[in-house]
Amino acid sequence: MTHDTPHLETAVLAGGCFWCLEAAYQMVRGVEQVVPGYAGGRVANPTYEQVETGITGHAQSVRIEFDPRHISFRRLLDIFWAIHDPTTKDRQGNDVGPQYRSIIFYANENQHRVAQASVKEAQEQLSDPIVTEIVRLEHFYEAEPYHHNYFRNNPEQAYCQIVINPKLAKLKAKYSSRLKERL
């Protein structure tokens, strides 16, 4: 739950660069806020520079605050499978290292059950094995301010054009009815 809006729930996901996940989930109807950060590691209050070494154990992640009256955790996971490759260990495209691994962090047993069922269903659609981890969320550390709204603030940057835009196009094609009208 969030501090200001009691009806919201929280999901934390990692699937490569947090800029990609942030840009995609900001488009989804029922998602109120997406915050980039770090989760799954051993270092308290890590910096981007520390996480990028790959030795902190953290993955670039996003914390998604969503309204379950408009979108379920399960539907967020459907989108998760569509916007990254869950079959590549410690990488997404040219982003390589454990900080780019695929993880569903669960906050409670219901999210844990939903995540497990979602992996099984997603695996039926893929020929390669899913390597996505399912891990209890211990801590989420918010990323530095310059990472927030990265795509919105830097749409012409090469990474945004080459990596993020194709993911957003795929999302729009597959889930247009679930997206916000104004992006």
Residues noted as catalytic: 17
Which residue type is seen at 80? F
Q: Helix 73-83 crosses helix 18-25 at what angle (to 10 degrees)?
A: 130
CA atoms within 13 A on the CB side of 134: 16
Name the one residue in this structure whose structure tokens are 């906050």. 107
Q: Strands 102-106 and 133-136, how do they pair?
A: parallel
- What is the amino acid identity at position 129? P
CA distance 153 to 39: 24
| H-helix or E-strand spanning residue 51 | helix 48-52
